[in-house]
């Protein structure tokens, strides 16, 4: 189960929760939330890749959309060079199995297909918006 609020906004457009492989990373922003906690915003141009290829040998892409993900109360664990725009290899959000003394219960790992990795832990994650 994907631990993001509003994940159905993405699923309604592309049919299921994607792996974000070959999605374009358009935005990566650190900021302070209204409650004073650290925030990370990730903007991704996403599409559903079909299992068949076109005449040029590329996988056919359908149902394109822009997805904005937000993460609150973050702690940065790893940041290697991420270029813009970048193409993603994967984007995963997992629930951590920690004791109740920690408030950061989710882990985001974003891997670039070109170079770079971003890993954070956070208290909350959600889909902010999906634009078609």
* Domain that includes residue 58, residue range: 8-131
Structural domain contains residue 76: yes
Take residue 53 and report the two structure tokens written for it: 């290829």
Structural domain contains residue 2: no
The whole-model pTM stands at 0.86
Structural domain contains residue 64: yes
Q: Where are the alpha helices (DSSP H) in the chain?
A: 8-14
Using one digit for the tens of pLDDT, what is the confidence trace for 44-80? 999 776 677 888 887 777 778 999 999 999 998 888 8
User: d(Cα 13, Cα 45) in Å, to the nearest integer?
Assistant: 13
Cβ–Cβ contacts within 10 Å for residue 79, how many? 14
Structural domain contains residue 3: no
The single-letter DSSP state of residue 5 is B
How many domains does the chain divide into? 1
pLDDT along the chain (132 residues), means of 10: 91 88 90 92 85 79 88 89 80 81 81 89 95 93
Could you tell me whether strands 38-53 and 59-72 are parallel, antiparallel, or unpaired per DSSP bridges? antiparallel
Structural domain contains residue 114: yes
């Amino acid at each position: 189960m994907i631990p993001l609020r509003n994940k159905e906004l993405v699923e309604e457009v592309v049919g299921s929760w994607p792996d974000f492989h070959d999605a374009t990373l358009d935005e990566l922003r650190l900021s302070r939330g209204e409650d004073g906690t650290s925030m990370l915003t990730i903007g991704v141009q996403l599409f559903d890749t079909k299992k068949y290829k076109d005449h040029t040998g590329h996988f056919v892409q359908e149902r394109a959309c822009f997805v904005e993900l937000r993460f609150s109360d973050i702690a940065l664990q790893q940041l290697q060079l991420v270029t813009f725009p970048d193409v993603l290899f994967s984007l995963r959000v997992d629930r951590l199995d920690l004791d109740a003394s920690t408030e950061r219960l989710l882990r985001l790992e974003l891997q670039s297909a070109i170079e770079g990795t971003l890993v954070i832990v956070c208290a909350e994650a959600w889909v902010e918006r999906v634009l078609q």
